[in-house]
Homo-oligomer: A and B are copies of this chain.
Amino acid sequence: MASMITPTMLVVILLLCGLDYASMFQVLDLTHDLSAKTLYWPGNPSYNFTELARGQMDNFWYESNFIATAEHGGTHVDSPAHFYEGGWRTQQIPMERLTGPGVVIDVKDKARDNPDYRVLLNDITEWESVNGRIPDNAAVIMNSGWGAKYPNKTAVFGTETPSVPSTFHFPAWHQDTVTWLINQRHVYMIGVDTPSTDFGQSSTFPTHVVLSKHNVVGLENVANLDTIPVSGTRIFAAVTKIKDGSGGPARIFATISTEDEKCTNSGPLRLPLSVLSLICVGVATIMFMYHDEQI
């Protein structure tokens, strides 16, 4: 009997080892184009794109351009220096603070009914009751559905007068929720799919202040949040490394890999593989002892 079971076990183990090596890796872009349609807060200089060259040279085709942009427009990063004296400027943010486990808080229904909605602690506890505790050092991003409105200026700012901030209506974070995430979950980044981590009607920007004060990075106008799962991803906020910047245009994206899942919790194959190993040894031992009795 042993000589029947054991080879089978060998094959299964080898199979699982093989499967365990095959890993899936995906990278998903969460960034709006930087263009003449890029949305900036009122008062910022407008975006400029200038062709320096575009055409056939003697030996080759050649294109080259020049751009000018405010730091805080489109999909971008708020550095801690943005709202706190002495906070990290863009080039000072440690690289490891620009990546972390991705957590997406879906408040689309609430924001549809109330464009002034602010993410509450309740939304976080609801998320955790379904998806488990938010891992430390995460990038926690609000998905309000606003990303779909971009770059429609009046729709995104929620006003017919997009040059007048006092008329803005769009959702964002409540400062108490962010304070809790900083103290209780040690978040590295807080994001929104709207123009500001403070909601449209804010004039004192308390969320910006608490983020900057704790050297937490802000992510604004994050795109395509419906294309990633609410957990199990890794977020990267690759901000242009502007010396002495208060932020900057960023390439924000998510990676999904079976390996990441193994890191965050339990690998789909690692555990069975280990358990199976134990079973094999167990079975062989029992049969061995069973035989002892036979003697």
Contacts and interface: CB of A to CB of B under 8 A. Distances in A.
Interface string A11-46: 001100100110101111101111110000000110
A104 to B, nearest CB: 18
Nearest to A16: B274
A89 B134 CA distance: 38
A68 B52 CA distance: 13
Contact size range, A = 35 or more
Given A65-B71, A66-B70, A91-B33, A281 B240 contact: no
Interface string A74-88: 010000011111000
Contacts of A271: 17
A84 B61 contact: yes
A241 B98 CA distance: 18
Interface string A244-269: 11111111010101011011010100
A130 B66 CA distance: 42
A183 interface: no
For this chain, the copies found in one complex come to 2
A56 B86 CA distance: 12
A9 interface: yes
Nearest to A252: B238
A209 B60 contact: yes
A180 interface: no
Contacts of A246: 54, 63-65
Contacts of A263: 21, 23, 25, 257, 259
Interface stretch (A106-114, A138-146, A285-293): A285-293
Given A2-B288, A259-B262, A68 B65 contact: no
A239 interface: yes
Contacts of A245: 65, 67
A273 B274 CA distance: 8
Contacts of A62: 82-83
Q: Which of A52, A239, A259 counts the most chain B CB atoms within 10 A?
A: A259
A83 B56 CA distance: 9
A44 B123 CA distance: 50
Contact of A31 (B33, B241, B249): B241
A163 interface: no
Contacts of A29: 95, 241
Interface of A: 2-3, 6, 9-10, 13-14, 17, 20-21, 23, 25-29, 31-36, 44-45, 48-49, 52, 54, 56, 59-72, 75, 81-85, 89, 91, 95-96, 98-99, 204-205, 208-209, 212, 236, 238-251, 253, 255, 257, 259-260, 262-263, 265, 267, 270-271, 273-274, 276-278, 280-281, 284-285, 287-289, 291-292, 294-295
